[in-house]
Amino acid sequence: MKNLIFALAIDEVQANEMVSPVMELIQVFIPVILTLVATVGFIWCIVLGVKFAKSTDPQEHQQAKKSLINAIIGFVLIFVLMLVLHIAFPYFLEMVKDVSKF
């Protein structure tokens, strides 16, 4: 089944003209976003680690520990997903080129 973009396109050239700028934009921004996510996640984990270390009340200590664990899990998930997107992007480009040939 053809993609909606390609269904609306008249021919392969028009489809490539529609998709190419978007794919190039994504390809440029993936490394930038990956770096930004890594930096923000690292800084946030340090802030939460300091909060965890400074907490004196057992309830604050437990809350800071939960926050730190959740931040690390979220950071790792986002980073892994961005990395997978960065690795899989060339295959997405090939898939788009193959679909446009039909």
For 73: left if phi > 0, alpha if psi spans -120 to 50, otherwise beta; the answer is alpha
Distance CA 9, CA 60 (A): 58
Distance CA 95, CA 102 (A): 11
Identify the sign of the CA torsion 76, 81, 84, 90.
negative
**pLDDT tens, position by position, 8-21:** 545 556 666 776 77
Angle at 91 between CA 76 and CA 14, to 5 degrees: 125
Lowest mean pLDDT segment, chosen from 2-6, 64-68, 97-101? 2-6
Q: Is pTM beyond 0.85 here?
A: no
